[in-house]
Structure 1
Amino acid sequence: MGTPAQQPRPGFPHTLVQEALACARALPQAVPVWGLSALQGTGKSTFAAQLAQAAQDAGLPAAVLSLDDFYLTGDARRTLARQVHPLLETRGPPGTHDLPLALATLDALGAGEPVKLPRFDKLADERVPESQWPTLDAPARLVIFEGWCLGTPAQEPGELALPINTLEREEDPDGTWRTFCNDALARDYPALWNTCHALWFIQPPGFANVLAWRWQAEQQLQAAHPGRTGMSWPQLERFVQHYERVSRQALRTLPALADRVVRVDAQRRLLAD
């Protein structure tokens, strides 16, 4: 398969952003956490930025957090790779996030405390040094928390038996890696999911769209940082397979679990409810 042509990536309609803002403002918590779950490349960062701007315009200071900013450091992932399974060196799947850091950050935001917001450098595949994290000095009145698998429940153990792609078949034939990730998702992630007071899900036509959309995001990331190297197309094809199992679980389960489902087509245009 050749690399797809880039497509324009417009923002989401003003009416949808205002609907999200109304949802967030109706939440009873002093500092509500409005959650947005969407697969890679679906537009969650774009939507989160639009909502943050709309909130700011309405006099509601907002902090935006991404699940991606809480990946474990490279050293921590390499330790997991040595101790458990080599595939755990790759960021993204459950078990490769710093959940205590995520929960502590959300707790501080909820308490209205000054807080440093962690950041992750995807081109370097490494957490940004803490000295470079932005500091939120004024209390936020809304937290927008977005993530590729936010709210997704674990699979039943029996569903892990058969590999679902080449990566699992060739590099995890006995299921050690996918079992570790699923166990982490079942044991450790519900506490983080439960911090969300509302959860929206952007639903694509299917997992097949993710590769092209993620490639577009990679190209945009590299264009914004000339002189730095990101993933090639073959590297990205392999990378996305790390996410496939949990992504398909999200597609199966989140439409029934989310408070609002936003359906988009293959061009990421809104579909009628």
Structure 2
Amino acid sequence: MLTAVATALGLSNVVPFGQGGQKIVASADFGDQPAIVKIVLVPAGPNGRVVVERAHREVDLLAAVDSPTVVKVLTDAVEIDDPMQVVCWVEERLDGDDLDRHFDRQWAEDEAWLLAEDLASALAACHREEVVHRDLSPRNIRRLDSGRYVLMDPGLARHLARTALTGFGQPGSYGWMSPEHVPGGRAVPSSDVFSAGVLLYCALTSTLPVPYGHDDSDYYRRLAQEDAPSVTQLRSDISAELADLVDTCLKRQPARRYLDGEELQAAVRRFRRVCA
């Protein structure tokens, strides 16, 4: 399989280093450029069509978004074998590690502002293309060696103008969901803003504002009915501006949050000028 993938994508030195579910991730050389290759295994039966559509959607969304805070895709999605067994593509290789490796401590305020800036920039770029990420969680954010952040893996994203291709429910990661992820809800751009608030809250406090206790119904009830606590309950030392930003992201009602990434980005810039 790896030989077929390398041939189809023009790769050399393909070395797998991770697998999750149906996706294999490998390092490779793409010409003279180090790269990452994503290999999605296609199951037999009707679920195969959904997997293929999802893979093409992920690549199409990455290709549509042009931002230094969103990972770049370097090829189209390529289907291999008949009947199809694999869909694969190439992305830029990022240094650093995933954000979840950095939540074992409470961050300083300057660190949290950098995360806020880059999350807002990434979401603004996605939302301008009418794309809702829907799974903004630590495993989908890369912390680069420079200390900046890049959004990855929009495989569960939803294009608001193409509902027929993206109607797979409201997926997400427990602990990082928005109230709109509750069954029966519909994710919108401000849903990503809520999840950005969860990331910032966790960075500052090392805890989740709405923890997941392995009881789905209880978690969904609290998301839908209870207001998230103010970040100042655990971090009274941070500036009023940063606390206001995080608390506004975590408003239970979507209309009371920043409505999309561009509004969040404007608020970050405004507050940063005040704090400078």
With the shorter chain as reference, the TM-score category is under 0.3
Considering only CA atoms, is the larger Rg found in Structure 1 or Structure 2? 2
Q: Give the TM-score of the pair, scaled to structure 2.
A: 0.26
Please identify which structure carries the higher strand content.
Answer: 2
**Larger relative contact order, structure 1 or 2 (CA cutoff 8 Å, min sep 6):** 1
Please identify which structure carries the higher helix content.
Answer: 1
Q: Give the TM-score of the pair, scaled to structure 1.
A: 0.26
